[in-house]
Amino acid sequence: MPLVVFNQKGGVGKSTITCNLAAISASQGLRTLVIDLDPQGNSSSYLQGQQATADQPTIAGLFEDALSYSYRKVLPNEFVVPTPHEGLHLMASSPSLNELTTKLESRQKIYKLREALQQLSKDYERIYIDTPPAFNFYTRSALVAADGCLIPFDCDEFSRQALYTLLDNVREIRADHNPKLQVKGIVVNQFQARAKLPQRMVDGLLAEGLPVLQPYLPSSVRIRESHELSLPMIYLDPQHKLTQGFVALHSALGPV
């Protein structure tokens, strides 16, 4: 059930796609959780806005507990916080994730997130995981924990070149740690239908037999307003063409 949104390249829309798919799940009455593993915390800011507090629990607490020798059994849901949106919850990011990386790697805590999700899956019907733009401890943890992987693609040559390395990394995780992991598909983001280069890029991926999903998400300035207001598109403008693109994508993914 858990779905990780992953690309080693930055600026391809991981947080935007994660939060908008999660918001649609919640708006359809599904108990939904977003886990923000990126220390930059874009998904956390997008979903919480001004509601976030300095003393709220974060995903860093879950990993800190994995490094401790406490006798008290800490449950993963202790690190979950609400968002302003009904049915949508968050495991918020923290800048301290950067400081924890070396310790977590040296103590081989790569399965900690998977163990947590096995418990959280009892409480949530949909779980979406946002990841940092690097193949590091946190992205590997997410791929080890997830059932499916969604890959944003923004139709430029750098993205195309990075895609092959990314797919190799997913295959490695599947072979070594998580045989259930499947690539659910490549999400074409910020697609400009009237431009020749994006269509040529997508046609190339299709010709190679790669799992490109429909629909392609159009480019829109409305998404910037969505970020600024901390309102995913389904809450900001349900009838907008980009919102409808997210809804169609959510439907195309089926149960995740």
CATH of the domain at 102: 3.40.50.300
CA–centroid distance for 25 within its chain = 14
What is the pLDDT at residue 256? Answer: 63
Q: Is 84 left (phi over 0), alpha (psi -120 to 50) or beta?
A: alpha
The tens place of each residue's pLDDT in the chain, 256 residues long, gives 799 999 998 889 999 999 999 999 999 999 999 999 999 999 999 999 888 787 899 999 999 999 987 766 789 999 999 999 999 999 999 999 999 999 999 999 999 999 999 999 999 999 999 999 999 999 999 999 999 999 999 888 888 888 999 999 999 999 999 999 999 999 999 898 878 888 999 999 999 999 999 999 999 999 999 999 999 999 999 999 999 999 999 999 987 6
Q: What phi, psi does 151 have (nearest 5°)?
A: -115, 110
Specify the 3-state DSSP secondary structure of 153: strand
Compute how many other C-beta atoms are within 10 angstroms of the C-beta atom of residue 206.
12
CA dihedral 46, 50, 53, 54 (to 10 degrees): 80
What is the pLDDT at residue 102? Answer: 94
Only one residue has tokens 């389904």, namely: 234
What is the pLDDT at residue 52? Answer: 79
Specify the 3-state DSSP secondary structure of 126: strand
Rg (CA), the chain: 18
What is the pLDDT at residue 150? Answer: 97
Q: How many domains does the chain have?
A: 1
Distances (CA, A) of 242 to 115, 121, 150, 204, 219: 35, 29, 18, 24, 8
The pTM of the full predicted model, rounded to 2 decimals, is: 0.95
What is the pLDDT at residue 255? Answer: 74
Q: Extract the runs of DSSP E, i.e. beta strands, from 77-230.
A: 81-82, 88-91, 126-130, 148-153, 182-188
Specify the pairing of strand 81-82 against strand 88-91.
antiparallel
What is the pLDDT at residue 241? Answer: 96
What six digits make up the tokens of 128?
């979406």
Specify the pairing of strand 126-130 against strand 3-5.
parallel
179: which residues sit within 8 A by CB, 6+ positions away?
A: none
What is the pLDDT at residue 31? Answer: 98
Residue 181, domain extent:
3-253
